[in-house]
Structure 1
Amino acid sequence: MYKLQNCSDQAGPVGQADSDLRDFFESYVSIASAVPSVLCLIGNFLLVNKVPASVRIQSSLFVMLAVFLVITVLVKVDTSAWTTRFFALTIGCVAVVSSASTVFTSSIFGLSSCFPMRNLQALISGQAMGGTISAVASVIDLAAAANVTDSALAYFLTADIFIIICIMMYLLLPRLEYSRYYMSSQEESPSLATVPPDSSMEDEAEPEGTTNTSFLAKSTGIPPLRPILQKTALLGFSLFYIFFISIIIFPSISSNIESVSKSSGSPWSTKYFAPLTSFLLYNFADWCGRQITAWIQMPGPKSKLLPALVLLRTIFLPLFIFSNYQPRAQIQTVVFNQDVYPVVFTALLGLSNGYLGTLVIIYGPKIMPKELAEAAGVVMTFYLMLGLAVGSAFSVLIVHLI
């Protein structure tokens, strides 16, 4: 984004176009990351029983590594003469990385659905911890770094290193006896996922050769979607709506809320307000919410209170809109004109996102038969990404209406 910032002060239509790219950068990135992810999730579901999870996971990691290496090289390239093309290239990289990340995440999530629930909860908490660490690094960099280019280079090099570590850790995973036990059971179960309930007796009556052929054919089929959708419908809607509301607000709206005392020129109100009250606070609250599910898992998967709490999060929209969001073009009224309000709202938004989102995600695969757990995990990830995709589109609309 700093490359767009450098070119947004030009006069005329070019400068105005660059300014638009800068002002709505978060919204464009949200769309570029969410929409392709939905398509990749559909493809990943179709490949659950056709392509091994190990192939999907490793290939997605290598794609992410390749794209991040390209981005790392571009950090030191002067793009001031081709800002629009650089923006398009950036959005393209975001789409590819997001697609690969979606395949990786949904495959890992589907695989972990065959492990005990505590492992699934730890996986989800780890995602939020990654966001928290990134936010902390951003604040430290903001305080200590002198050159934005060097900071960006450090960020992307760190990403490259961590992806390489992920590849190494995944290759190590099958060597652990604990994970090998559950992964071996997962490899045996997909074949059951596509066997119709009334076909077992017929298969047993077939000759040995034809039975094996039929069994292998079914093991590479598409998991039955209808029973998964039927059993996870309410949980799926809840997951969709949780992230629909969250992505509308964070980061498109929350990161543009300014301190009411910005004119004082203090570092808190100018330099650190958004990084601390938006990014760091949200990610930390989200991580705390996910951690709480390790000890408290209420309400249950069939409780009517769960979707009620999910729908109640709609109230966050007007709360953030009527905070000190800037710039405002349509709605000039600021109701919550003290800095404490967005702090409280962001903390509650992150906490509820982490707690309710984690509950719904871990409930989905666990209410399904074991042989459908991986496919159910992919379907739940689809609901999540669909919420992000639709929410990111709505975020652009709402930002233009404020």
Structure 2
Amino acid sequence: MASEDDFHHSSNSTYRTASSSVHADQEALLEKLFDRPPPSLQRPKDRFHGAYIIFFSLGIGGLLPWNFFITAKEYWVFKFRNCSNPAAGEDSVGSDILNYFESYLTVASTVSSVLCLMANFLLVNRVPIRVRVLASLTVMLTIFLVMTVLVKVDTSSWTYGFFAVTIVCMAVLSGTSTIFNSSIFGMTGSFPMRNSQALISGGAMGGTISAVALLVDLAASSDVTDSALAFFLTADVFLGLCVGLYLLLPRLEYARFYLRPAWPAHVFSGEVQPPQDPPSAPSAAPGSHDSCIPPLRPILKRTAGLGFCVVFLFFITSLIFPAVSTNIESLDKGSGSPWTTKFFVPLTTFLLFNFADLCGRQVTAWIQVPGPRSKVLPGLVLLRTCLLPLFMFCNYQPRVRLHTVVFQSDLYPVLFTSVLGLSNGYLSTLALMYGPKIVPRELAEATGVVMSFYLCLGLVLGSACSALLVHLI
């Protein structure tokens, strides 16, 4: 493999340039003008991998609360079927809510995520990232503290009220989590790619931790409220840890180097417009550029190919996981063994997928091929479409239209889920990491928000079409 020094380097770029192309030469010149650090600055080393660990931990904290919110399914069933002296008709109320609870959660989280992504893009140059990150962490922590308190509160007398509070909390949590994750991801665009990889891998670790917690909960068979309390308290601790780690990050010499002010980026079209200030000028005058909205069209143009990859990757993944994969049963389910009944889906779906996804993302720390301009990357992304029929012809139950089960072994869903997770983790991390690297440095944060929007769009489309796929089976 080629080392990082073999790539065209700037503080925001580590991809190969095609010197034979005039357009590539213009891109290289843009990067030299906008991203070149002053000669007196030397790139410091990430001592003891401190920044890497911080970004990895922020990735965990950014998605762990949401994962725990979803993982505590038995807790929500208990709350909406609370049988402590239920009034007449209370069971029907709880049943009506439970029938559509996940749909309500999906709609609430999706709508708030999209709206907050749009707001975050508009506020990139208007509200400092420090304010956006700390404000979102504070709101997330407040929401979870409220939900933690409500765990031990008897809500049987106000089921609809508790349901409304839960939906509102989920919407606010999803929106603020989106602002936090997209802001931090945008910030890593000014760092070397290994820091973006750490943040993305941390998100996968959050999913793995929640899957392990679910298995421990099933094995222990403890009181449902105690399990939920443990989930929410753990999320509270991680969110508090994120606040401390984010405040610690600017104290690292390595982080201060990459967080320095960027050269102002003018509208980058076909012509290169060098900045008017001499190279020795530290930065543009405050408010001259930071007060305007980032240019969306050139960002979309630069990231169109990578954006397609991200959208299609998460479209295929959310088509299969969890709508199809969670309904694949063990062929030996009739044996009555707890491993083929109680633990089969948590092990072969949630834990295996999240662990494979984490491994795929972690591999990108050492291997980063194909590159952002390679046609192999979208080819591999399109190739994942073959996973759809493979999962459909496993032992999915109940089957209405496709009666034949082609893959007559429990090893097949294990293999297919591993491929789904590994390919999702590796290819999505590459595409997401490359995005902020192919634009001038001070547009990296806005580009990170756009890449997050691509991710959200893929998840929304896949989740919406998953019901149709299930209907075909």
What range describes the TM-score normalised by the shorter chain of this pair?
0.7 to 0.9
Q: Could you tell me which residue of structure 2 aligns to residue 42 of structure 1?
A: 118
How far residue 118 of structure 1 moved from its aligned partner, in angstroms, is 1.2
Taking a change above 3 Å as real, the CA distance of residues 100 and 330 of structure 1, as seen in their structure-2 partners, is farther
Aligned partner (choices 172, 187, 192) of residue 264 of structure 2:
192
- The residue aligned with 1:158 is 234
> Using a 3 Å threshold, how does the CA distance of structure 1 residues 391 and 91 change in structure 2: closer, same or farther?
farther
Preserved CA contact (<8 Å) 2:264 2:275:
no
Pair 342,161 (structure 1): closer, same or farther in 2 beyond 3 Å: same
1:267 corresponds in structure 2 to 338
1:77 and 1:9 mapped to 2: Cα distance?
A: 11
CA distance in 1, matches of 2:362, 2:75: 37
Q: What's the offset of the Cα at 1:19?
A: 5.1
Pair 1:9–1:178, CA change in 2 (3 A): closer
* Aligned alpha-carbon RMSD (Å): 2.9
Query: Contact 2:357–2:426 at 8 Å: present in 1 too?
Result: yes
Aligned to 1:208: none
TM-score (norm 2): 0.75
How far apart are residue 36 of structure 1 and its match? Answer: 2.0
Q: Which amino acid aligns with 1:258?
A: E
Contact 2:372 2:431 in 1 (8 A): yes
- Unaligned 5+ segments in structure 1 are 205-210
Match 2:200 to one of 118, 121, 124: 124
Determine the C-alpha separation between the residues in 1 that align with 2:193 and 2:459.
24
Q: Measure the CA separation in 2 of the matches of 1:381 and 1:80.
A: 39
Deviations 1:87-135 (A, max 9, x none): 4433332221111111000000011110111111111111111211221
The Cα of 1:137 is off from its aligned counterpart by 2.1
Is the Cα contact below 8 Å between 1:38 and 1:389 reproduced in 2? no
1:217 Cα offset (Å) = 3.6
> CA, structure 1 residues 398+25, in 2 after alignment: closer, same or farther (shift >3 Å)?
farther
Could you list the per-position Cα deviations for residues 276-310 of structure 1 after superposition, in whole angstroms to 9, with x for gaps in the alignment? Answer: 11111001000110111112111111111111111
Question: Paired residue for 1:373, among 444, 451, 456?
Answer: 444
Change (3 A) 1:398 1:20: farther
**Letter aligned with residue 410 of structure 2:** D
- Runs of 5+ unmatched residues, structure 2: 1-72, 278-282
Kept in 2, the 8 Å contact 1:3–1:80? The answer is no
Instruction: Give runs of aligned pairs for residues 134-283 of structure 1, distance below 5 A.
Output: 134-183=210-259, 185=260, 188-189=261-262, 192-194=264-266, 216-283=287-354
Change (3 A) 1:302 1:200: closer
User: Which of 379, 388, 397 does residue 459 from structure 2 map onto?
Assistant: 388
Equivalent runs, 1:286-365 vs 2, <5 Å: 286-328=357-399, 331-365=402-436
State the match for 2:38 in structure 1: none
Match of 1:64 in 2: 140
Q: Are the structure 2 counterparts of residues 239 and 42 from structure 1 closer, same or farther at C-alpha, using a change threshold of 3 Å?
A: same
Opposite residue 386 of structure 1, the aligned amino acid is L
Cα drift, residue 82 of structure 1: 5.0
- 8 A contact 2:113–2:178 mirrored in 1: yes
Alpha-carbon shift at residue 252 of structure 1 (Å): 2.5
Q: SS of the counterpart of 1:269?
A: coil
The 1:169–1:275 alpha-carbon spacing in structure 2 relative to 1, beyond 3 Å, is: same
Aligned counterparts of 1:25 and 1:80: Cα–Cα separation in 2: 16
Rounded to whole Å, the distance in 1 between the matches of 2:81 and 2:448 is 43
Q: Distance in 1 between matches of 2:210 and 2:427?
A: 23
Distance apart, 1:5 and its partner CA: 3.6
Cα deviation digits, residues 131-179 of structure 1 (max 9, x gap): 1122122212221242111011100011011101111111111111111
8 Å contact 1:193–1:371 — kept in the other structure?
yes
CA drift at 1:25: 4.9
Distance 2:338 2:163 in 1: 30
Please name the residue that 1:112 is paired with.
188
Q: CA separation of 1:201/1:350 partners in 2, compared to 1, >3 Å: closer, same or farther?
A: closer
Q: Structure 1: how far apart are the matches of 2:153 and 2:295? A: 49
Alpha-carbon separation, structure 1, partners of 2:467 and 2:97: 12
User: Aligned partner of 1:92: which letter?
Assistant: V
Distance 1:366-1:203 versus aligned 2 partners, 3 A rule: closer
Matched pairs, number: 391
Structure 1 residues 4 and 20, CA gap change in structure 2 (3 angstroms): farther
What is the alpha-carbon distance in structure 2 between the residues aligned to residue 128 and residue 68 of structure 1?
Answer: 21
Moved more, 97-106 or 298-307: 298-307
What is the CA–CA distance in structure 1 between the aligned matches of 2:328 and 2:133, rounded to whole Å?
38
Report SS of the residue matched to 1:297: coil
Preserved CA contact (<8 Å) 2:266 2:273: no
CA distance in 1, matches of 2:99, 2:315: 21
Q: Is the 8 A contact 2:264 2:284 kept in 1?
A: no
- The verdict on how the C-alpha distance between 1:92 and 1:356 changes in structure 2, with shifts beyond 3 A counting, is same
Quote the Cα distance in structure 2 between the aligned partners of 1:196 and 1:378. 19
TM-score, normalising length: structure 1 = 0.88
**Equivalent residue of 1:223, what SS?**
coil
The structural deviation recorded for 1:351 is 0.4
Q: 1:284 aligns with which of 355, 358, 365?
A: 355
**Matching of residue 2 in structure 1 with residue 74 in structure 2:** yes
